[in-house]
Structure 1
């Protein structure tokens, strides 16, 4: 599922992206800082849900929502620091599905996203598997370990995982570890690449760097420099 975030504050975008990835790691997040960037993304990607900041440079979020309604079938949620009935009323008239205030609280965001998570229904076995991966990604977690924890056959779990999640077990684990590594590279600038590699469950720094470059096009150091300039 493609999610669009539009906000002129980079930190707000990063925080919302992190919260979405944390709770729904297989969803694709696209970010824009103004209406023009948002419209370019909409012309290239089939966006299912969009979060629009009301106070944008140039066109406001409400104006962007109106344009989006003519172009896309995406559901729209307005995000604003202003708890103002007039804004809410205008948003409702435009047909937005919800309205949340800044600073965005994880519980509020997840409540909105849960309405869409039902579109992707995981069996109880896969839900348990994903929870265990998220809780133990820094450890040497294997398919056999997961299968033993939820008391099913490893081959059956492997097949179910591929069918329901859309990617294989190992690919998903690496994707989640890399997502956590990206956050750690930014949040812990004092940590070495080797430390982050180990904390995120990779067997070696070399393998970690290889996987990181494959996913992002950058080395871990280049990514850190790009994001925080250190």
Structure 2
């Protein structure tokens, strides 16, 4: 398994490609492609990994993923239990800037768009207050002609550059260039194993075995490529899963969430949760409920 080179499924290469997925689960491989990607999640939940950054995703989310940024939308395990059910629905837009002559982006009218595109290497999540407007635009793209798609995307980039504030960065400090083809095999196996077994007691010896190196070498290797310890990365995955359980009300209390996501005590869970999110689990629940009431009223 490695960081796969992915080609958008189209009969011919255009500068803008729109692909609508309605599937049992999302594309299940850590991959990258030369096109910038915009994704609107319409149905399905899981974990997004971009580089070594991770967080949960849910319906309504809109993401920008940079050109050649390794990523995976990993569906929740429940999506794999019933392969006949279409749990995943998303619209993906692939924008190939290299197919547009450079002088076009040097026009004075394109300055703000060019500046915005230069910042997308590590990806963004669109703030929630802009989701409805952007979603309406994206949903209309599959039926538009090739030229209309390009013009719409240019206008959308202009909106992103001039109107949107408070982008959430998907950058955790990892340079995309660190994922060479040869190293993609090892890092992807580590990421995939962690996503599938985060609730278990993953020892250093076990994860080093997955990476096919000694525990001491693994600690140095992982820190070099991610600028964080494996334990920090594992805790981020666990807290991301805990947040999903909180949002889905899929729990009987804080202690239940703690043990179901791999923590050995509620005290340790509370400490790591606060360190990762900047608030306690109870404050997170309160804030989520407050936001939910604003959108439903």
State the TM-score, normalizing by the size of structure 2: 0.47
Q: Which residue of 191, 202, 210 maps to 2:263?
A: 202
Verify: 1:121 aligned to 2:147, yes or no: no
Over 3 Å counting, the alpha-carbon distance change for 1:89 and 1:27 in structure 2 is farther
Tell me the equivalent position of 1:33. Answer: none
Q: Which has the higher helix share?
A: 1
Which one has more relative contact order, counting CA pairs under 8 Å at least 6 apart?
2
Match of 1:110 in 2: none
CA contact (8 A) 2:54 2:236 kept: no
Contact 1:139 1:201 in 2 (8 A): yes
Q: Which of 77, 81, 97 is residue 139 of structure 2 equivalent to?
A: 81
Superposed, 1:84-163 pairs within 5 Å as: 84-85=143-144, 89-93=147-151, 119-121=177-179, 123=183, 124-163=185-224
How far off its partner does 1:187 sit? 1.3
Tell me the equivalent position of 2:228: 167
- Following TM superposition, by how much is the alpha carbon of 1:227 offset from its aligned partner in structure 2, in angstroms? 1.3
Distance in 2, Cα, partners of 1:134 & 1:172: 11
Change (3 A) 1:27 1:145: closer
- Secondary structure (helix, strand or coil) at the match of 2:228 reads coil
Change (3 A) 1:67 1:209: farther
CA shift in 2, pair 1:91/1:143, >3 Å: same
Displacement of 1:207: 0.9
Greater shift, 155-164 or 220-229, is seen at 220-229
Pairing 1:187–2:248 present: yes
Q: CA RMSD in A?
A: 4.2
Instruction: Name 1:23's counterpart in structure 2.
Output: 49
What does residue 108 of structure 1 align with? none
The aligned runs of 1:208-223 (5 Å cut-off) are 208-223=269-284
How many Å apart are 1:189 and its aligned residue?
4.7
Secondary structure of 1:191's aligned partner? coil
Contact 1:209 1:220 in 2 (8 A): yes
TM-score of the aligned structures, taking structure 1 as reference length: 0.59
Please list the CA deviations of residues 101-131 of structure 1 after superposition, one character each: whole Å capped at 9, or x if unmatched: xxxxxxxxxxxxxxxx974516222221222
